[in-house]
Structure 1
Amino acid sequence: GDVAKDLALQLPPIPDRGFRVVSEGRTQYFALHGQTGHLVTAERIDREQLCRLVEKCVLRCEVIVEGEMKVYEVEVAITDINDNVPSFRDIETELRVSEMTAPGWRFPLIEAYDPDVGANALQGYKLSGDEHFSLAVQEGPGGDQRPELVLAKALDREEAAFHELVLRAMDGGEPRRTGTARIRVSVLDANDNAPVFSQAEYTVRVPEDVPVGSVLVTVTASDPDEGMNGHVKYSFHKISDRASELFHLESETGEISLKEDLDYEEISSHVLEVQARDGGELFDTAKLSIAVTDVNDNIPQISVRSVLSEISEDATPGTVVALLHVQDRDSGTNGDVRCSLDGGVPFRLRSSRGSYYSVVTAQEL
């Protein structure tokens, strides 16, 4: 963008004097070309890395005119390209199905993930294999597509002990990109009772400073069958990459514990799906919602954005001598900041726009 032209700024005779581009965070993605006044990219921009949880990706920076003590906000919208292939967390999956399972029974499959958005995102699935299975796709509460394997024809272990299938996930980009996962179905003998969770949905609230290793919740499922057909094991069925780094599920006890420190400012809630399977591979699924509550673990950050090195003694009271920015990453009252200036100086603080404060003269000098 031509920032100098759009804001009617006069370029200084010496480039890079008087104008500065400031971005929040360590990486400065933009710079101002001193000779042309053009806003240019200073670093490679990856939309999926910067805005993986946000469909509309906007980067913000500020142009500071130091001589005039003015700040201009700049917003740059990052548009998506089809640079990601739909991928499955597990490219090979094994299902164990009883030969007594009735046609029409459905088995949830691992969903593919494509960080692109819009038409470039995941659009659909296709199944190839044999006549015993078909594919159904359910729409989740958030509009996501959930593939299910449907038993179309009764199984006979003596006729075929295994079935090999291929699940394809396709996006809508140009050109279209496709990811695949292989499904191996093993046919087992009968198991007539499936595990049942004690509740369909578990909800837990934990502070972000809970110690690593703490047990957050224990999920339980019961199965009236005996032996291995009644032995229940637990696993995560649907979980994000970040949540898999944070949480551990003990397969035998159902205890879900913390592997890494939580950060409310990073992600404030996690929604998972937990599956209970018995020895015959019958299962039940429960939803787990973990809400992370804020703790006052961030101190306010003060940065001097602009400052005068000298001022005339005949400056009128109210003259701006410095521009400060104050920010606290905590939320609610933990993020409310009150600023004051130490006494004994002929200056005072004046609140400016947003999180900015001006240091101005309080009297004649």
Structure 2
Amino acid sequence: MEMVDRTMGLQVLLFISIMYLTSVLGQVSYSIPEEMSKGSVIGNIAQDLGFDRKRLTSGKARIFTGDSAEYIELDRERGVLLIKEKIDREALCGQTTPCALHFQVILQNPMELYAVAVEITDINDNTPIFEKSEMKFKISESAVIGAKLLLERAIDPDVGMNSLQSYFLTNTDHFVLKLKDQPDGEKIVEMVLQKSLDRERQDEIFLVLTAVDGGEPNLSGTAQIHVTVLDANDNAPVFTKTAYKATILENSPRGTVITRVSASDADKGSNSKITYSISNTAADVRHMFEINELNGDLISKSNVDYEKARYYQIHVQASDEGGLTDSCTITVDVIDINDNKPVINIMSQTNVIPEDSKPATVVTMVNIQDLDSGDNGKVNCAINDHIPVTLKPTSNNFFNLVTDSDLDREIASQYNITVTCSDEGVPSLSSSVTLTLQI
């Protein structure tokens, strides 16, 4: 008899819990600078969401971050969000702006879900750096005024005004700098001849190139330039195009020839011999592509992944043996293939529910993610038939499993609920998960 009373008591408590089970969607945003120390307070999440901090403890509040790294933690007792790991904006987002972490705060009894966005703002913590501390050139004394020498760009991972802003050239009256804006926001840096050279008077020229960012205070980096003056080379190489476009399927095998660039030189003999090279391109891109120095073929060195980068911009230089150069850009668009299955995340789940629970009682929260794009990333979800539960979307990529009719334990005491999610790629990829609900 005592065991029966205890069981009935548990059922009553469970019934009361389910009666108040609901799903509430809210959102709060914060903005913090990168590099905040571990344990720093981001914001009072309880206050900003408008409830007592004791609710975080009673609701067993937790953070759901999907597949992103956990840089942030929740202090239930204080009701605040804290820095869990120091955040490097450049490592997290690269050049993408704005840079933000998106996650959800989930509570139980009743079930509630809140979206949180934390924008990571840039600080001027990177100095412009030249990957090559010294650049060497050879140029003919007969080079015409206006002849160009392509210089290596400096790299500054910061963004906005903290990024690279300008260049200065010192110790010369023979050359001036010319900056050419590129579609990706970068600048091609060229050194242009403005005064005729005389090898008999000066066969070597030494210059200093300085790159300066726009931070407060500004930071700068330098590179040395060594120019050797040679005898006559009258014509510089000229590319057939200043900009090339190409495509590559993600996961294409290494060694895939993507496109070919071509330059010509009107000189004769060795001065007309052209070699191709990749220059002024980020190191991580150079690790992925190479160019045949003889014929200009652009070749993949490793697999590309659309989910990591949707396009690459590569700067190519053509050089003749007399030291003159021309440059072009290649934009390689990565074509997405359907290589990611939908991922089903169970956010919160009730395994036992009283048979007299009202319709529309939430029993499970589900989050769906698919890293592909376009139709490959569009996901449709369904559950099996002949069960008193339906799947209802609550927000982007979030669903609730809710009861849609009265329950009767004498008819069925347990249901196995299979959630199946399929993308719209060809062929379609799918995932499923089975949940057990006892009445």
Residues 96/329 of structure 1: CA separation in 2 closer, same or farther (3 Å cut): same
Deviation, 1:13, is: 7.5
Residues 160/73 of structure 1: CA separation in 2 closer, same or farther (3 Å cut): same
In the alignment, the residues of structure 1 paired with residue 264 and residue 233 of structure 2 have an alpha-carbon distance, to the nearest angstrom, of 14
1:240 aligned partner: 282
Other structure's SS at 1:352 match: strand
Query: What CA deviation, in whole Å up to 9, does each residue of 1:22-81 have, x standing for no partner?
Result: 113241111111111111111110111112121322221211122222211111121211
Given the alignment of the two structures, is residue 59 of structure 1 paired with residue 94 of structure 2, yes or no?
no
Output the TM-score relative to the length of structure 1: 0.93
Give the 5 Å matches for 1:19-34.
19-34=61-76
Find the partner of 2:206 among 133, 140, 164.
164
Give the length in aligned residue pairs: 365
1:89 aligned partner: 131
Residues 14/75 of structure 1: CA separation in 2 closer, same or farther (3 Å cut): closer
Given the alignment of the two structures, is residue 217 of structure 1 paired with residue 253 of structure 2, yes or no?
no
User: Bigger radius of gyration, 1 or 2?
Assistant: 2
Deviates more, 1:155-164 or 1:97-106: 97-106
Query: What CA deviation, in whole Å up to 9, does each residue of 1:233-261 have, x standing for no partner?
Result: 00113323332121111111211111111
In the alignment, the residues of structure 2 paired with residue 326 and residue 108 of structure 1 have an alpha-carbon distance, to the nearest angstrom, of 48
Residues 95/174 of structure 1: CA separation in 2 closer, same or farther (3 Å cut): same
Residue type of the partner of 1:87? I
Other structure's SS at 2:271 match: helix
Residue type of the partner of 2:309? I
Residues 101/188 of structure 1: CA separation in 2 closer, same or farther (3 Å cut): same
Contact 2:95 2:158 in 1 (8 A): no
Deviation, 1:321, is: 0.4
Deviates more, 1:36-45 or 1:133-142: 133-142
Deviation, 1:11, is: 3.2
Other structure's SS at 1:333 match: helix
Give the 5 Å matches for 1:301-316.
301-316=343-358
Other structure's SS at 1:260 match: coil
1:101 aligned partner: 143
Other structure's SS at 2:79 match: coil
Give the 5 Å matches for 1:121-140.
121-140=163-182
Residues 104/165 of structure 1: CA separation in 2 closer, same or farther (3 Å cut): same
Gaps of 5+ in 1: none
1:230 aligned partner: 272
Give the 5 Å matches for 1:135-284.
135-141=177-183, 143-284=185-326
Output the TM-score relative to the length of structure 2: 0.78
Residues 141/220 of structure 1: CA separation in 2 closer, same or farther (3 Å cut): closer
Residue type of the partner of 2:136? E
Deviates more, 1:204-213 or 1:236-245: 236-245
Contact 1:305 1:324 in 2 (8 A): yes
1:5 aligned partner: 47
Deviates more, 1:36-45 or 1:99-108: 99-108
2:78 aligned partner: 36
Contact 2:150 2:326 in 1 (8 A): no
Q: Percent identity?
A: 39
Residue type of the partner of 1:19? A
Other structure's SS at 2:279 match: strand
Given the alignment of the two structures, is residue 48 of structure 1 paired with residue 90 of structure 2, yes or no?
yes
In the alignment, the residues of structure 2 paired with residue 129 and residue 208 of structure 1 have an alpha-carbon distance, to the nearest angstrom, of 47
Specify which structure has the higher proportion of helix: 2
Contact 2:254 2:300 in 1 (8 A): yes
Other structure's SS at 2:353 match: coil
Contact 1:12 1:18 in 2 (8 A): no
Query: What CA deviation, in whole Å up to 9, does each residue of 1:73-93 have, x standing for no partner?
Result: 111121211110001122211
Residues 109/14 of structure 1: CA separation in 2 closer, same or farther (3 Å cut): closer
Query: What CA deviation, in whole Å up to 9, does each residue of 1:328-355 have, x standing for no partner?
Result: 1111111111111134543221122110
1:361 aligned partner: 403
Other structure's SS at 1:243 match: helix
Deviation, 1:324, is: 0.3
Residue type of the partner of 1:327? Q
Residue type of the partner of 2:164? L
Query: What CA deviation, in whole Å up to 9, does each residue of 1:175-217 have, x standing for no partner?
Result: 3211111111011111123223333332212211321111111
Residue type of the partner of 2:199? R
Residue type of the partner of 2:290? H
Residues 117/16 of structure 1: CA separation in 2 closer, same or farther (3 Å cut): farther
Residue type of the partner of 2:191? L
Gaps of 5+ in 2: 1-42, 408-439
Residues 291/199 of structure 1: CA separation in 2 closer, same or farther (3 Å cut): same
Residues 205/101 of structure 1: CA separation in 2 closer, same or farther (3 Å cut): same
Other structure's SS at 1:338 match: strand
Residues 268/139 of structure 1: CA separation in 2 closer, same or farther (3 Å cut): closer
Other structure's SS at 1:263 match: coil
Residues 153/199 of structure 1: CA separation in 2 closer, same or farther (3 Å cut): closer
